Amino acid sequence: MDALTLHSPILAVAIPLLAAFATPLIGRLSSRARDVFVIAALASMLFVVILLARDVYEVGIRIYTLGALSPSQAIPENHMVPVRLVFEVDGLGALMAIITAVVALAGTIYSIVSIKPETGQNRFYALLLLLVVGIMGIQLTGDMFNLFVFLEILSISGAALAAFRTRFVDAVEGGFKYLMVSTVGALLFLLAIGIFYGQYNALNIAAIASAMQYTVLDQVALALILAAFLMKSGAVPSHWWVPDTYTPAPAGTSPIMYASSLACLAATFRMLFSLYGVQMSLATVGWIVIIAGVLSMFVGVTMALRQTDIKRLMVYHVISQEGYMLLGVGVGLAVLSNPEALAAYGREAIAGGLFHVINNAFFKGLLLLTAEALFFRLGTRDLNQMGGMGRTMKWTCAFFLIGALAISGVPPFNGFASKLMIYESTYLFNPVLTIIALIVSVMTLASFTKVFQSAFTGPALPQYKEVREVPMSMKLGMGLLAAATVFISLFPAFVVDTIIYPAADALLDRSGYISAVMGGG
Amino acid sequence: MSKIVRTIAQAVMPFVFLFGIYLIIHGHLSPGGGFQGGAVVASGIALLFVSFGFKYVSTFLREDTLSAIESSGALLFIGLAFAGIATTFFANFLLGSPVFGSIPVTGPGVGDIWSGGTIPLMNIGVGMKVSAGLSAIIFSMMLIASKKRGGEQ
C-alpha cells in the first residue's frame, strides 16, 4: 500500500493512459470485455486518487519526479538539468483529482448503454480515457510545459468527443469551435511558457515562481495565461463556444467535459496564486477575475432563461455557475496582500469558490445527464414538446429534482452551503457583488422551475405513451453523482473541513508549493 | 498515375522506408527519432497511395491493421515507462543491462547504437505509433476522396 501511495501521482495519469491505448485492442476481441475493462481502469484510478488524497491531507504536498532514482528527488545531484519533470500534488490538486475521478467513473458508467446506438465505440472509449488523462494531468503536474501537453491532450480528445455524434450537424460545428478555441488558448499559453523559459531558464512552476522578478514580460505572460485559461473554461467574454460544444456532446461525456472546464479554472487559480502570488498588483488582477465572474454569472443566467432546448439551457447555467467560482476566488485574490481582510473573509471566499467547484461538478454533471436521459428516451431536447415525464421516468425526475434544487441554492442542499460561503464573504468585501449573486441565484431557480414544470409535470402526452425509464447503467451513473451531491448536502461541514480548506490553504501557501520542489523553505 | 510515376515510386520506395527506419533506430544518437522517422515512413505510404491509387493499395493495407499497430506502439511506450516503476515511472531500468545497456564515452564521437537503455525502444514505439497513425489519416482522406470521385461519375 505504501508503494502504491508513493507512485499514486503518476498512476492517476498512467492508468487511464495505458487503458486508452489498450481499449481499441481489447475492443477488437469483445465489446463486453472492453466495457468491463474501461470501468475497472477508472475504478482503480479512483482508488489511487483516494490513496493520494488521503496522503496529501495527512502528510502534505507530495511530489513525484519522473525517471529519477527516487520519486522525491526533484533536483538532480550534479545539477545537469535545472529541475526534472515533476508532478506536484497539493490540496488543490487532490480536490480536483477527486472530482475528476468520481465524475469520470459516473460518466463512463452512464455511457455504456447510452453510446450503444453509435458506431466506433472503441474510439469513443479511447478518447474518453484520453480526456480523463488530460484533466488529471493538468491538476497534478508541476511543470509548465507538461501542463501545455496535457492541455493539448484534453483539447484534441475533447474536440473529437464533442463532434463524435456526426449524424447531428451541430456536433461537427461544436467540435470545430472547441478545437479553434483550444488551439488559440494553447498557443497563448505556449507563448507565456516561452517568456518564462527565456527569462528564467526553467519550466517547472515552482522553479519559475521562486525566480519570479515581476518584470513587464511577466505581466504580459500573466495576461496571456489568464486569457488562455479563462477562454478554455468558458468565462464571459469567451463563453460563446460553450453551448455549441457541450450541447451536442455525447451523453456520458458531458459531465467529464464539464470537469475539463473546471480543470482549466483550477489551473487559472494555480497560476494566479502559486506562480505569481502576493507581489503582483493584486487588486487589479483580483478585480479582473471578479468582473469576469460577475459577467459570467449574469450573462449565463439571462441567456439560459430564454432557452427551450433543455440541454442548452443547462449549459448556459454552466457559464453562470462558473461565475460564482471566479467571484469567490477573485475576492480572495483581491485581498491577498492584506492579512487582516484575508483572515476575516478572504480565505472564506476562496474556500467558497472551491466548494462551489466540487458541488457543481456533481450536481451540474447530474443535471446534464438527466437532460441526456430525456433525449435518449424522447429523441428531442425541445422543452415545448415534453410533458408529464415525471409519471414514467420517476428516477430521472428524482435525480433532476436533486440537481435542480442544489444548483438553485435551496437549503439544505450543497449549492446553498457553498453559495452562502460566497455571499457572506463577498458581502464584507463589496455588498453590490452579493446582491448580484443573489439575483442570479433567484433567476437560476426560475429557469429550473420552468424546466421541471414543462418536462416532468402535467398530463401524460399520448406520443410518449411507450416511453420507459432509462436502463440500469444510466441510472447508476446518475445515481453516483446524486449520491455524491446528497452526501455533501448532509455533511457540508465535514467536506469543507477535510477537503475544501486544505485546497484553499494550498493556494494561499505559495512558499510551501515552491519549497516542496526547490528544497529549503 | 502514369507509368513513369509508378516506376520511379517503386524504385524510391525502399529507400524512403529504409531512411525512416534509420531515423527511428538512430533516434538516441543523431537528429531524428520516433516522430520524425515515423513521419518519413508515413510519407512513403502516402507516395504508395498517390502513385498506385487507393483501390489497389487498400487490398493489402487495411485500416484495422494500422490502428492495431498504432495502439501497440503506444502500449510499448507506456509499458516501458511502467516497467521502470520499481524505481520511478519512466526510470531507465535497462541502463547497464545487456539490452541497449552500454554507456558511451562522453564527448564527440559516432555514438554507440547499443546504448540508451529504454530510449531506443521507446523511439521504436513512437515510430510505430506515428507511422501507423499518419498512414491511417492518409488512408481515411484517400477513402473519402475515392468515394467522392465515385459519386460524381
Contacts of A17 in chain B (CB under 8 A): 78
Q: Specify the pLDDT at position B150.
A: 62
* Nearest residue on chain A to B73, alpha-carbon basis: A21
- Strands (E) in B7-148, as ranges, are none
d(CA A479, CA A29): 30
Decide if A263 contacts A135 (C-beta within 8 A). yes
Residues whose CB is less than 8 angstroms from the CB of residue A506 and which lie 6 or more positions away in sequence, other chains included: A61, A90, A91, A92, A93, A512, A513
Number of CB pairs < 8 Å for A and B?
51
Q: Which of A398, A397, A399, A400 is nearest to A389 (CA)?
A: A397
The pLDDT, as a whole number, for residue A82 is 67
Residues 6+ apart with CB under 8 A from B97: B117
Give yes or no for residue B44 having a pLDDT over 70.
Answer: yes
pLDDT of residue A389: 83
- Sorted by where each begins, the domain ranges of chain A are 281-490
The A residues from 248 to 267 touching B (CB cutoff 8 Å) are none
Nearest CB among B64, B78, B84 relative to A17 is that of B78
**Domains of chain B, residue spans:** 3-152
pTM score, whole prediction: 0.93
Mean pLDDT by runs of 10 across the 521 residues of chain A is 86 93 90 93 95 91 86 72 82 94 94 83 92 94 93 92 86 91 93 93 89 88 92 86 89 89 92 82 83 92 89 91 92 86 88 93 92 87 83 89 89 89 91 92 90 85 80 91 93 91 90 83 45
Query: How close is the nearest chain B Cα to the Cα of A70, in Å?
Result: 6
CA distance A312 to A239: 13
**Residues on chain B touching A11 (C-beta within 8 angstroms):** 89
A328 touches A426 (CB < 8 A): yes
For position A46, what pLDDT does the model report? 95
Smallest Cα distance from A402 to chain B, Å: 41
Instruction: Yes or no: say if A386 and A374 are a contact pair by the CB < 8 Å rule.
Output: yes
CB contact under 8 A, A25 and B68: yes
CB-based contact A64 B92, cutoff 8 Å: no
Question: Of A268, A286, A192, A285, whose CA–CA distance to A232 is shortest?
Answer: A268
With contacts defined as CB-CB under 8 Å, which chain A residues touch B64? 28
Q: Supply the angle between the helices A310-334 and A282-305 in degrees, to the nearest 10.
A: 160
Stretch (H or E) spanning A474: helix A472-490
Q: Where does residue B3 rank: exposed (0-12), middle (13-18), buried (19+ CB within 10 A)?
A: exposed
pLDDT (tens digit per residue) in B53-105? 888 888 888 888 998 899 999 999 999 988 888 888 888 888 778 888 777 77
Q: Which three cell numbers stand for residue B35?
A: 516522430
Which CA distances in Å does B131 have to A159, A411, B17, B122? 23, 57, 10, 14
The partner residues of A143 in beta bridges, in order of sequence, read A204
Give the ipTM. Answer: 0.86
Task: Please indicate if any CB of chain A lies within 8 Å of the CB of B78.
Answer: yes
At A387 the three-state DSSP class reads coil
**Is A440:A323 a contact under the CB 8 Å cutoff?**
yes
Chain A residues in contact with B75 (beta carbon < 8 A): 18, 21-22, 25
DSSP string, A293-339: HHHHHHHHHHHHHT--BHHHHHHHHHHHHHHHHHHHHHHHHHTTT-H
Q: Does A81 touch chain B (CB under 8 A)?
A: no
> To the nearest whole percent, how much of chain B has pLDDT over 90?
43
